[in-house]
Structure 1
């Protein structure tokens, strides 16, 4: 038997992520994955066991890279209100750039598979809850630094902002223009009471 093919796992996950992101889980075949990543079928199955295993690895990679990086910026930025404002404006800009109208891999997956695949439902629920937690922290920071009124209902606002993100991502994938999405983002931002 020959040696298993060696490969850069991060590079392969990035390529597979781009494919799943564009086509979705159902429309992506094993043949598509081997062609797009350069892996042989044997290497794919040795490393990930199945298409489902590969997809799970891609979801974890997305959460640990794309989502984590964006949320870290939100956590680190100050003051609290400005951090949230910047987050939404960057989100709209990123989702409406030319050739980037793919929405969000997690949101797309939730719509496609969420109700039917327990792993997806459970994992994405935790990922979305994490986003809500980071908004809670940013809102609390805003109250403490004086950029948000201390009368703000943090729980309700964190949920509303998290929901707004999903809506913006879906609308961006459907081709809604940047100006309209910015107005939507600004409408949600008006829910945050200022001092």
Structure 2
């Protein structure tokens, strides 16, 4: 069981997360955080050295929630093709929740951190690298089990699938409509079924 300090830290992260994802890392103020948590500035800074440390913890929290659901959906499938299709279904199903929470935390952080927050950029790059690796390993497993064509370039296909998912999320967020995401996810599913699956 977590101690009081850990519970307080987690409370701050959970309450601050929507602000960082919706308003951005630069525009989320300490006043936003104190209002959301009901804690004083001293209590916030008693748990985090500065706003950047909190922002990094919030990104990890938002990422874990999104990626954890995706991985769970994939792990419940028997073979690599079904795992990839489960990933696509996951993003179809989670769009409304992601949209209400301000959009994809990976994309939001990537855009904002590019030049302004090097430590966050490192975390975002790591997240995308891990996602790419997860998809590529799934494809490699599929090649070994015989469900995916052996000539498939696992890394390139992983990059393409991520680009379709993230691009669709961005366009859907801009349009305030899931339609663009459904188009890109339909294409990703078609690629899996026609270019990957044996």
User: TM-score band, normalised by the shorter chain?
Assistant: 0.7 to 0.9
* CA deviation profile, 1:84-130 (whole Å, cap 9, x unmatched): 11211221331135962622112101112222221122111011000
Length-normalised TM-score, structure 2: 0.84
CA contact (8 A) 2:12 2:37 kept: yes
Separation in structure 1 between the aligned mates of residue 150 and residue 93 of structure 2, nearest angstrom = 30
Question: CA 1:95/1:82 → structure 2, altered by over 3 Å: closer, same or farther?
Answer: same
Q: With the length of structure 1 as denominator, give the TM-score of the two structures.
A: 0.85
Say if 2:168 and 2:181, in contact at 8 Å, map to a contact too: yes
Displacement of 1:41 in angstroms is 0.3
Q: Residues 26, 98 of structure 1: CA spacing in aligned structure 2 closer, same or farther, 3 A cutoff?
A: closer
**Structure 1: runs of 5+ lacking an equivalent:** none
Task: Tell me if structure 2 keeps the 8 A contact 1:95–1:102.
Answer: no
Residues 100-111 of structure 1 aligned to structure 2 (within 5 Å): 100=100, 102-111=102-111
Q: How many residues align?
A: 192
**Residues 144-153 or 51-60, more deviating:** 144-153
Question: Normalized per residue, which structure has more helix?
Answer: 2
Counterpart in 1 of 2:119? 119
CA distance in structure 2 between the aligned counterparts of 1:129 and 1:99, rounded to whole angstroms: 23
